[in-house]
Chain A
Amino acid sequence: NAGVTQTPKFQVLKTGQSMTLQCAQDMNHNSMYWYRQDPGMGLRLIYYSASEGTTDKGEVPNGYNVSRLNKREFSLRLESAAPSQTSVYFCASSEIGLAGANEQFFGPGTRLTVL
């Protein structure tokens, strides 16, 4: 049971290049999330997918696109990378309980540097 996996672990891009970050979960969760983590700012939600076939913007969606490929996989795409997108990216998944609580499980992260 791997939980939430992310690829790649590290990536260096030049300004203007594109790339896709991959995320997969094996916990049969309906909801999946993409966050970015920057020093002193905690985690900020980029996009989320409440269920297969749906996606919604979070707090900081500009410059990103997402695809919920199936129930297991949720990818994040940078179409034209900018230095401001240098960050650590985390994928998470959850199954929202009947009470509405949202305990999320996180992947190990992708460290992205844009030069």
Chain B
Amino acid sequence: AQSVTQLDSQVPVFEEAPVELRCNYSSSVSVYLFWYVQYPNQGLQLLLKYLSGSTLVKGINGFEAEFNKSQTSFHLRKPSVHISDTAEYFCAVTSSGSARQLTFGSGTQLTVLP
């Protein structure tokens, strides 16, 4: 079985400050990892994904994430946030053993303050 833990349910940060949203996963087989963003009253949009290769993955809107197999983590980072980054962020995992099942974390609400 696979699972995802997002350690922070809410992250407030001031505009232009850096931010890190934490995600840890558990799986006994090879994993594929995703970060999705959900703006208010909208569906989920893919930010970035790790399938294989380089452990540092760059996504849209200046976000990046690093896959760390030894720590089973896939933390999301942005060096300087904008008001428009205010949204809920979901980490998700699927694995080679259960490709049909995308398991989501409980989400992190990022609020960027002026």
Q: List residues of A whose CB falls within 8 A of some B CB.
A: 4, 31, 33, 40-45, 48, 50, 56, 58, 90, 92, 96-97, 99-109
Contact = CB atoms under 8 A, between A and B. Distances in A.
Contacts of A48: 100
B61 interface: no
A97 B94 CA distance: 12
B45 A45 contact: no
B43 A108 contact: yes
B26 interface: no
Interface of B: 4, 9, 32, 34, 36, 41-46, 49, 51-52, 90, 94-96, 99-102, 104-107
A102 B104 CA distance: 13
A59 B46 CA distance: 22
B102 A106 contact: no
B99 A42 contact: no
Nearest to B45: A106
Contact of B9 (A40, A45, A105, A106): A40
